[in-house]
Structure 1
Amino acid sequence: MSATLPPIGCNGRGAQASSRERPVSLAEPPIEEQFRLVRESGAFDCFDRLPMPGQVDTYLRCIERFGLPVHTASWFYALGRDEALLADKLRLAAEVGASTHNVMLHWHDATGRPIGDDEVADFYLRAYDEGMARGVEPAFELHVNMWSEDPRRVAPVAEAVRRRGIPFHFTLDYSHAIFKMGNAQELAICGLTEDVASGRAVLDPFQPGNFVDQWLEMGIVRWLQVRSVAPNGPRNRWSMGDSGEAVAAVPEHSIFPYAKGEPGRGILYPFTEPAPGEWHSPWDTGALACTREVVRKVLAYHRTHEDSPLRWITTEMINLPDYAHNARFSLIGQNAAIARFVREQWAALRGTGPG
């Protein structure tokens, strides 16, 4: 059995002391403030974010001052444009001590052409070679607008990499699958409609043959990202896509038909009940069942398998339009509540107090 819970980090995009008076903003607090909020929450072991060029010294000071190492860092890439950028981001990750770089690889290349599984595997191998030379391993993420928005592609890509004798590390953010459940538009975008209806593709983590169980049994889940989300949950009607700003992780060529004046996708649902006026839609604790079940499954697998590859856990309640932009609850508070839930579930598995 695995006796140790991996360290739990908070994504820096979730480090905002937001409220009814100060809604969640795309304009983020300084890095020092992000580190301080994560530390003062008392819920986290580390800070999850990639520094921008020129921020490395600030990160190193904050890591020492607040006692929050950076183990993990993420960025997004398009084939045919960002091959050189990959090396730059791996270098930045290494400079702040990160040992895993989460790669979000767009569904389309720089010209707008959908990329094939073989191209994804080749990019993984490139990231592995370049990253391991710096002591930073890659992990490829389950994420909307990326090659993995269709979860059926994950196993073939993983197997293609492993046939080359290289381990495939996967970042499991299952919110990107749960929110599609029961949502006809979201299922149709990546061609899941018929396979879900027939049971050939199982998104529901409570049902036999689901993707979470498949990936755990493959031994590829390196990093668990936890964002609470509801099946067919409400779109973010408080963020209407009319700012004209470029938004992180939303590519020029998107699989989703983003349009000015349309709400963000519904890839976030509050983990704790919002007070009146803090959230745009009704809230029901039962909508969190799938999110909770995924956490339980991953922790149970890690607990019962000595060879579990799980090394990192992060909370992912973030500020972008498809998520919590303009919400009026405490974003850092929501992240801290998820971190405490993870610890409680681990303690229940071990029959001990939280830790």
Structure 2
Amino acid sequence: MVSGDKSFSIGCSGRGVRSSSRDNPITMVEHSIDQQFRMVKESGVFDYIARLPSRSNLGEYQTAMHKYDLRVEQPTWYYLLGRDEALLLDNLLICREVGVKHHNIMTFTHHADGHALTDGEVVDHYLKTYDFGMSHGVEPSFEVHVNMWTEQFKRVLQVAKQVRSRGVPFNFTMDYSHVNFKIGNDVELELSGIRADVESGQLLIDPFEADSLCDQWLGDGIVRLVQFRTAAPNQGPNIWSRNEDGSPTRGIQYPITRPLPGEWHSPWHAYLLEPSKHVIRKTLAHHLHEESSRLRCITTEMIDMPDYGMGARYNLFEQNVEAAKFIRKTWQQSCALHLAGLLEP
């Protein structure tokens, strides 16, 4: 960490605070709120826990926050327009009540009536959310995520431009795992509407490429929050899990450390982590070099759920601890190289 406007916080997703093992595979059953806070605090590598309290457990969260001197920040929730407007406003009020400064928002691609949201509808949604949230001291930030309007990656900068034309900053949460797992996967690239652009070289999504999508988002100054989940290029589905309707999952989580025998369903190769790690390297280098950087939080997002860690036998929380250690080590190295004049932006 550094002082001044280059400081940022590192947190752990509440969905990843789970002591799983070969004998205790990852499920949706969570530890108590008190135990989650204790684990995050005792790890010594996190500044906050990222989970949104509900009205029913708000008191438990407030008690745990005080007991462990650990704040809640960058909580995430998902919203379906035409159904969840009141829920969104109430969640912003909950954020205010527990001192959250940034609410991470995922908005589904389609409206409750079935039509796909237009850019204009997303812009209007953002502006209304921003006005309400900021009036209560809570910044909204819209996340890139599968099944959400942002899965059409090219829309992000289009919407950001329209929002800023209204005199309002566009806050963006960059979770590049939702891009990295699509590298080399024609079906996934088609779902994002970018297969032709990628094949022609007009759009680069590999973060090792200059002027990749990662570089474009960073360079546009929209990145406010970051989520860090390691995901392998062209990763296969999570074969140890199924969606609620029985359909196959996607594969958007790759263990950050070598799994022990029986902990993971597929061969593991360290080099497949590099695109995910390079996004963090690029993000922190950009944050150090650019006065325009607006980065405030990085949350580790090794989580449960079918497309991610459900059914795996590795220790889910330790995956998040290792992810946080990587962020902190990379930051220290970046600062040292920056001071020596050796860090390239």
Same fold by TM-score greater than 0.5: yes
* 1:205 matched to 2:190: no
What's 1:298 paired with?
A: 283
What's 2:34 paired with?
A: 32
1:43-86, Cα deviation, whole Å (9 max, x unpaired): 11111111011221111111111121112211111111111111
Aligned partner letter, 2:228: V
* 1:144 matched to 2:155: no
CA offset at residue 202 of structure 1? 1.4
1:234-257, Cα deviation, whole Å (9 max, x unpaired): 21000023xx4xxxxxxxxxxxxx
What's 1:253 paired with?
A: none
1:67-126, Cα deviation, whole Å (9 max, x unpaired): 211122111111111111111110111111101111101001102211111111110001
* 1:331 matched to 2:319: no
Q: Take 2:129 and 2:65, find their aligned partners in 1: how far apart are those partners?
A: 26
What's 1:280 paired with?
A: 265
* 1:94 matched to 2:76: no
The correspondence of residues 157-236 of structure 1 with structure 2, limited to 5 A, is 157-236=159-238
CA contact (8 A) 1:175 1:227 kept: yes
Unaligned runs of 5+ in 1: 245-258
Aligned partner letter, 2:59: D
Deviates more, 1:32-41 or 1:336-345: 32-41
- Number of residue equivalences: 334
Which of residues 112, 116, 119 is equivalent to 2:118? Answer: 116
SS at match of 1:104: strand
The correspondence of residues 231-270 of structure 1 with structure 2, limited to 5 A, is 231-241=233-243, 244=244, 260=246, 262-270=247-255
CA offset at residue 31 of structure 1? 1.3
What's 2:53 paired with?
A: 51
Deviates more, 1:134-143 or 1:232-241: 232-241
CA offset at residue 307 of structure 1? 3.3
SS at match of 1:80: coil
CA contact (8 A) 1:235 1:322 kept: yes
Q: Take 2:195 and 2:219, find their aligned partners in 1: how far apart are those partners?
A: 25
SS at match of 2:18: coil
CA contact (8 A) 2:20 2:314 kept: yes
CA contact (8 A) 1:50 1:93 kept: yes
CA contact (8 A) 1:178 1:203 kept: yes
CA contact (8 A) 1:172 1:223 kept: yes
Aligned partner letter, 1:180: K
What's 1:351 paired with?
A: 336
SS at match of 1:321: helix
* 1:342 matched to 2:327: yes
* 1:126 matched to 2:111: no
* 1:14 matched to 2:16: yes
Q: Take 2:112 and 2:204, find their aligned partners in 1: how far apart are those partners?
A: 31
CA contact (8 A) 1:41 1:332 kept: no
Q: Take 2:47 and 2:97, find their aligned partners in 1: how far apart are those partners?
A: 19
CA contact (8 A) 2:153 2:192 kept: no
Unaligned runs of 5+ in 2: 338-345
Greater share of helix: 2
CA offset at residue 5 of structure 1? 4.0
1:241-293, Cα deviation, whole Å (9 max, x unpaired): 3xx4xxxxxxxxxxxxxx62x43211000001100000011000000110011
Q: Take 1:305 and 1:203, find their aligned partners in 2: how far apart are those partners?
A: 22
CA contact (8 A) 2:78 2:106 kept: yes
* 1:154 matched to 2:128: no
Aligned partner letter, 1:116: T
What's 1:249 paired with?
A: none
Aligned partner letter, 1:350: C
SS at match of 1:323: helix
SS at match of 1:113: coil
1:183-229, Cα deviation, whole Å (9 max, x unpaired): 12111113221111011221111112211111111111000100000
Aligned partner letter, 2:298: I
